[in-house]
Amino acid sequence: MKKDTSNENISYKYDKKDKNAKTVQKSILRVVNEKMVSEGINKLLYEVTQLNIKVEKLFDKSLELEKKNNSLEQSFNKVEEYFEKKLEKKLKKKNDRETSKLS
């Protein structure tokens, strides 16, 4: 009597197909993960580039504001000097008048 091995053969074939399917599935997942990581990296690089552009614009703006601030400071100093001189002249005139009254 011949032993029936057809069930064993069928089982072996399905196990082999199942292993192949899992290997293919793992390969597909690996490729998909690599693609997602690559897309994520590209997106991050783009965002970093955009942030660098914004930082450069802000830096340029800060330099411009610093120049304006220096200019305003110089103008303020000139105005301050003008009023100090004017005040000194008035004080001198007042002192001169008082000294002339005393004499």
**Digit-coded pLDDT (tens) for 28-67:** 889 999 999 999 999 999 999 999 999 999 999 999 999 9
The answer to whether position 15 is within a domain reads yes
The answer to whether position 28 is within a domain reads yes
List Cα–Cα distances, 66 to 58, 71, 100, in angstroms: 12, 9, 50
The answer to whether position 4 is within a domain reads yes
Provide the number of structural domains found in the chain: 1
CA dist., res. 47 & res. 53, Å (int): 10
Task: Print the domain residue range for 69.
Answer: 1-73
CA dist., res. 13 & res. 22, Å (int): 14
- The CA dihedral of 37, 42, 46, 49, to the nearest 10 degrees, is 100
The answer to whether position 88 is within a domain reads no
The answer to whether position 81 is within a domain reads no
90 has pLDDT over 70: yes
Name the pTM for this structure. Answer: 0.52
12 has pLDDT over 70: no
